[in-house]
Amino acid sequence: MDATEIGEGPADEHKRSIRSGQVRRRPSGEPPPLPRGKLGASGRLLVGLLLASVVAGVILAYAAGEVGATERFESSVIRAIAKLRTPWLTSIADGLHDLTDLWFIRLLGWSTMLVLIVFRRWRHLAVFVISILLLELATFQLQALLERPRPLGVTILSGWEGPSFPARGVATISVIAIGAIYALVPHGRWRFRAKSIAGAFIVLVSLAEIYLAVNHPSDVLTGALLGFVFAVGGFRIFAPSDIFPVSYGRGTSAHLDLGGERGEAIRMAVADGLGLQVVEVKPFGLAGSGGSSPMRLRVEGGSQPYLFAKLYATQHVRADRWYKTGRTIRYGALEDEKPFKSVRQLVEYEDYALRLMRDSGIPVATPYGVVEITPEREYMIVTELFEGAVEISEAEVDDRVIDDGLLLVRKLWEAGLAHRDIKPANLLVRDCRLQVIDVAFGQVRPSPWRQAVDLANMMLVLALYSDPDRVYERALQFFQPDEIAEAFAATYGMASPSQLRTEMKRDDRDLVARFRELAPTRPRISIQRWSLRRVGLTGIVVVSGLILLAMALAMVQRGVL
């Protein structure tokens, strides 16, 4: 049975559902399955805090020309609070104020970093560090711009440094505490509790600052808000929990939540868009998917009880953009590709790639189509599920499977296509036949280098679970020795997907070296190619790095440490 035959059932089923009127067009004005524009509680809080912060800054900037009114008002508030001063309250406030000193901030920052390093959570670490850096930059500039004196008309009871607005110690504690929570505490109830505790702590420190007359009320308010906004903003934009979850076990929290409103929306969208009744939505194959939220759908009434679906959201497009930018910088022209501009574009491309490969005789899952969850924000691609299929690493790799894999690459070459992500997780075996999945990275009319890499990666995967000599021998049925030599001259280091590299490292055999011995000798093909885009992007990264370094050095020069 070839791939086209596999796909005939579902396609017919879809046509039948259209004929029977089960597919429903959403009329104009009717909301989509999951309407957009609903900000979560923390989103609303974030927007509110941003606005409040901006308003406070503008008021103070305006008042800088005519400082009297603002200063008199805030001083009167501090004086009123100063009337409450008692020795025991002052010692408590002093203790809280001491927490804005370097030792506590360092301890908090270092501990967070240490945990992130131990758990190898590099993205969270980078976001954490950069949030702190940007906050320091913002508070530094605001202090220099406004140069607000410390509170007047009341005795200042504790130490301070620099202008009063915004309260830098409060801002730093806020960004580190909130950042640590977003970096270390899993999303959900525990994070909410941790945020509540951190919030209460920041409020207490802020009150202590006002009580001691070290800062004005607006200084601490703005400082706390800035810290919160930089931490939450940084993590929500660059390490959203949906895509980069904090998890300390083998949980299923690695992707978009498929329950609740979204679960209902998925059911509604599949019913309307494909005419199929979804009985169950279950996360599926999470380990092998980082760029989408994969799931298994149990459907009623169809010829196949289970379907496979991948949900794409704006976060996935953003992650794809960063991933491609990183690859452009690291490898240059060979991987110099434009990122997708929208979720719609991404999901349309995968659907197109599936259909193109299926039409070219590549054994891929039959696409059912794309359904809309939230216009321009969330789309889902639905395909056939390879029931009973196992990853190639768990299957017996005999000559039939080896031939299937090699023929698959031959067909890709003949169709002018490249898969670009051939690794064990993307090769499934069902009934002793090989199937390929995850074609989102596929490319039409790829470079010869990329095609050669596909062949080498396929041979490496096959050899991992069999024998390189046997794979080489079978490959000679489909490829010329020079073509195999080209494949292994092009493939080294990062040209192979990381999962394949990891598996090869675990293997005692040096498979690449063995294939190079078997194939005719050919000089290595350089991966590194330069393009204007690569030069530009690298320049931006280098300049940004130098700016960061200069800022750090400036802080050292000023005797901070």
Partner 1 sequence: MTGRANGRGSRGARRAAAVVALTVLVPLLAGCAANNVAAPMCTPESSLPERLLVAQSIPDASLVPCIEVFPAGWNFGGMTVAAGETVFTLDNDRGGFDAMKVTMTPVCAIGDARPQQVQGDEIGTTKYVRPIETGGRILPATAFYRYPGACVTVEYRLAADAPSSLFAEAGTALSFLPRSEIVAETSERIGEILCGAEAPPCPG
- The CA-atom distances, in angstroms, between 321 and each of 129, 326, 343 are 21, 9, 11
Task: Give whichever of 133 and 415 is closer to partner 1, judged by the CB atom.
Answer: 133
514 binds partner 1 (CB under 8 A): no
Which of 3, 160, 177, 271 lies at the binding interface for partner 1 (CB under 8 A)?
160
Task: Give whichever of 237 and 552 is closer to partner 1, judged by the CB atom.
Answer: 552
Which of 133, 356, 395, 415 lies at the binding interface for partner 1 (CB under 8 A)?
133
Task: Give whichever of 79 and 298 is closer to partner 1, judged by the CB atom.
Answer: 79
2 binds partner 1 (CB under 8 A): no
For 271-310, letters b (16+ CB in 10 Å) and e give: bbbbbbebeebebbbbeebebbbbbbbebeebeeebbbbb
213 binds partner 1 (CB under 8 A): yes
Q: Which segment (79-87, 303-311, 389-397, 448-456) binds partner 1 by CB under 8 A?
A: 79-87
Residues 6+ apart with CB under 8 A from 2: 361, 363
**CB of residue 385 vs partner 1: minimum separation in angstroms?**
37
218 binds partner 1 (CB under 8 A): no
Q: Give the per-residue contact string, 375-394, with partner 1 (x = CB under 8 A; - = no).
A: --------------------
**CB of residue 82 vs partner 1: minimum separation in angstroms?**
4
CB neighbours of residue 523 within 10 Å: 7
* 454 in Cβ contact with 381 (< 8 Å): no
Counting beta carbons within 10 angstroms of the beta carbon of residue 251, is it exposed (0 to 12), middle (13 to 18) or buried (19 or more)? exposed
Instruction: Note the Cα 226 to chain centre separation in Å.
Output: 24
Rounded Cα distance between 534 and 333, Å, is 7
155 binds partner 1 (CB under 8 A): yes
**CB of residue 247 vs partner 1: minimum separation in angstroms?**
21
Rg of the chain on CA atoms, in Å: 29
| Residues 302-331 within binding reach of partner 1 (CB under 8 A) | none
For partner 1 (CB under 8 A), the number of binding residues is 63
495 binds partner 1 (CB under 8 A): no
Instruction: Note the Cα 489 to chain centre separation in Å.
Output: 33
Task: Give whichever of 261 and 510 is closer to partner 1, judged by the CB atom.
Answer: 510
Q: Which segment (32-40, 110-118, 192-200, 415-423) binds partner 1 by CB under 8 A?
A: 110-118
Which of 113, 138, 286, 476 lies at the binding interface for partner 1 (CB under 8 A)?
113
Q: Give the per-residue contact string, 169-198, with partner 1 (x = CB under 8 A; - = no).
A: x--x---x----------------------
77 binds partner 1 (CB under 8 A): no
Strands of 427-430's sheet, edge to edge? 390-391, 427-430, 433-436
Rounded Cα distance between 561 and 558, Å, is 8
Task: Give whichever of 158 and 277 is closer to partner 1, judged by the CB atom.
Answer: 158
Strand 277-283 vs strand 293-300: parallel, antiparallel, or unpaired?
antiparallel
Task: Give whichever of 98 and 337 is closer to partner 1, judged by the CB atom.
Answer: 98
Task: Give whichever of 103 and 248 is closer to partner 1, judged by the CB atom.
Answer: 103
554 binds partner 1 (CB under 8 A): yes
Which of 39, 61, 540, 555 lies at the binding interface for partner 1 (CB under 8 A)?
555
For 79-93, letters b (16+ CB in 10 Å) and e give: eebbeeeeeeebeeb
Residues 6+ apart with CB under 8 A from 386: 308, 365, 428, 430, 435, 437
Task: Give whichever of 226 and 276 is closer to partner 1, judged by the CB atom.
Answer: 226
219 binds partner 1 (CB under 8 A): no
* 514 in Cβ contact with 469 (< 8 Å): yes
507 binds partner 1 (CB under 8 A): no
* 374 in Cβ contact with 36 (< 8 Å): yes
Task: Give whichever of 28 and 86 is closer to partner 1, judged by the CB atom.
Answer: 86
Residues 6+ apart with CB under 8 A from 335: 324, 327, 328
- DSSP-assigned letter for residue 427: E
**CB of residue 516 vs partner 1: minimum separation in angstroms?**
11
Helix (H, G, I), strand (E, B) or coil at 417: strand
Helix (H, G, I), strand (E, B) or coil at 279: strand
What are the strands, taking DSSP E only, across 334-439?
Answer: 367-374, 378-384, 390-391, 417-418, 427-430, 433-436
78 token code pair: 């501090």
Which of 162, 326, 416, 520 lies at the binding interface for partner 1 (CB under 8 A)?
162
Q: Give the per-residue contact string, 529-548, with partner 1 (x = CB under 8 A; - = no).
A: -------------------x
Q: Give the per-residue contact string, 80-109, with partner 1 (x = CB under 8 A; - = no).
A: --xx-x--------------xxx--xx--x
Task: Give whichever of 110 and 190 is closer to partner 1, judged by the CB atom.
Answer: 110
Q: Which segment (43-51, 161-169, 234-242, 536-544) binds partner 1 by CB under 8 A?
A: 161-169
* 271 in Cβ contact with 245 (< 8 Å): no
Task: Give whichever of 78 and 266 is closer to partner 1, judged by the CB atom.
Answer: 78
205 binds partner 1 (CB under 8 A): no
Task: Give whichever of 139 and 451 is closer to partner 1, judged by the CB atom.
Answer: 139
Rounded Cα distance between 174 and 186, Å, is 19
48 binds partner 1 (CB under 8 A): no
Rounded Cα distance between 81 and 210, Å, is 8
- Residues of this chain that interact with partner 1 (CB under 8 A) are 67-68, 71-72, 75, 79, 82-83, 85, 100-102, 105-106, 109-110, 113, 117, 122, 125-126, 129, 132-133, 136, 140, 143-144, 147-150, 152-163, 168-169, 172, 176, 213, 493, 505, 510, 513, 548, 551-552, 554-556, 558-561
